[in-house]
Structure 1
Amino acid sequence: MSSPARPTREQLLASVDRTIPDVIGPGLRVLFCGINPGLWSGWSGHHFARPGNRFWPALHASGFTPRRLDPGEEQEVLGLGLGITNVVARATAAAADLTDDELRAGRHELERKVLAHAPRTLAVLGITAYRTAFGRPRAALGEQPDHVIGTTRVWVLPNPSGLNAHHTPADLARLFATLREAVQPPHG
């Protein structure tokens, strides 16, 4: 599927505070949770839509998807036992535009979704946002052994935004693959 045309500056600015629907359902292996939609996602109505965002490439390179999906194909992840949501629903130019109070309030809505849908694993994409939203200032990347929501295990992975220079695409693929291996159904 081809990516949509590029939005104008005015279209992006008009996307501030828009929300996009979750890609969520019962029986998920992993519910991926972004911090919040960016303006490109607000404009397009699709998760991780900005060119340069590394979510879709990392999902494929780690083995979660059989091919690289485009944001407009996001519903296809449901058939793979995956879903997508955000800590905060409203679109902003950058995650830094969110307040700590918004992140903490978003956590409560996220916990409600997790309890309602009971994915096996919640993967929060962004260590700083996770630390703030969940009040865990010393959390590290990976599984959070002391944090479970209902029956759902919690993992933290790096923010895949192209603005996050702390992790290379290869790092993201490796870290996403570690999660995939942990949630892979046993062979037999």
Structure 2
Amino acid sequence: MKPHRPTKADLAAAADLILPDVIAPDLRVLFCGINPGLYSAATGHHFARPGNRFWPALHRSGFTDHQLDPAEQLSLLDNGLGITNLVDRASARAAELTPAELAAGGVALVAKAERWRPHWIAILGVTAYRAAFRRPKATLGPQEDPAGPSRVWVLPNPSGLNAHFQIADLAKEFAHLRTASDQRN
């Protein structure tokens, strides 16, 4: 049975919806998207839009033993992984978010880190990280400054709109984080 594809009306109704986090205490990695897209909000699953490369990159990097479907997102918790977003509200494009929303999202992410204490937070998008944490020169990879008790790693945005990174490149970047997250200190 094919999953339900949201209609135009479903997508329009999803504007400003909030997609619940997939989170638990002491995760190995909490992946942090920019904000849910309308497709994800309409389906109730993170990174659900066809063409988003999050799930393939996660698998090809070795975080999961098979490629999960967005509907299987809760099984991430069994692997010590979770998902949240910098900004909770859904929008058609991340470009619709204001700098103030991104900065407030950075503050909220630190509060989540204090509460849930993931070992690593992986922010999916260097531009969003720069805006949310006021780090204009940040690059991909591990960051010097933690988010509360959690170490921070910036990964490329897995959206299909990010043409700078193909799936193999994304998987390689995710694999660097997987290796680091396997080495708990």
- Displacement of 1:3 after TM fit? 5.7
Map of 1:60 onto structure 2: 59
Residue 106 of structure 1 contacts residue 133 of structure 1 at CA under 8 Å; is this kept in 2?
A: yes
- Displacement of 1:185 after TM fit? 4.2
My pick for the range that moved more, 2-11 or 59-68, is 2-11
- Displacement of 1:101 after TM fit? 0.6
1:102-113 matches, within 5 Å, as 102-113=101-112
1:39-76 per-position Cα deviation (integer Å, ceiling 9, x unaligned): 00110011001010000000000000000001110000
Map of 2:26 onto structure 1: 27
- Displacement of 1:4 after TM fit? 2.1
Q: Secondary structure of 1:123's partner?
A: strand
In 1: Cα distance, 2:31 partner to 2:21 partner: 10
In 1: Cα distance, 2:2 partner to 2:123 partner: 25
- 4+ residue runs over 3 A deviation: none
- Displacement of 1:151 after TM fit? 2.3
1:168 to 2:169 alignment: no
Residue 27 of structure 2 contacts residue 118 of structure 2 at CA under 8 Å; is this kept in 1?
A: yes
In 1: Cα distance, 2:131 partner to 2:183 partner: 32
1:2-41 matches, within 5 Å, as 4-41=3-40
Q: What runs of 5+ residues in structure 1 fail to find an aligned partner?
A: none
Residue 3 of structure 1 contacts residue 70 of structure 1 at CA under 8 Å; is this kept in 2?
A: no
1:135-169 per-position Cα deviation (integer Å, ceiling 9, x unaligned): 00000000002x11232100000000011111110
In 2: Cα distance, 1:140 partner to 1:107 partner: 17
In 1: Cα distance, 2:13 partner to 2:41 partner: 9
In 1: Cα distance, 2:75 partner to 2:183 partner: 19
Q: Secondary structure of 1:122's partner?
A: strand
In 1: Cα distance, 2:73 partner to 2:126 partner: 23
1:20-169 matches, within 5 Å, as 20-145=19-144, 147-169=145-167
Report the count of equivalent residues: 184
**Percent of paired sites with the same residue:** 60
In 2: Cα distance, 1:83 partner to 1:91 partner: 18
Letter in 1 for 2:80: G
- TM-score, normalised via structure 2 length: 0.97
- Displacement of 1:183 after TM fit? 0.8
- TM-score, normalised via structure 1 length: 0.95
In 2: Cα distance, 1:174 partner to 1:3 partner: 30
Q: Secondary structure of 2:146's partner?
A: strand
Structure 1's 183 and 43: CA in aligned 2 closer, same or farther, altered over 3 A?
A: same
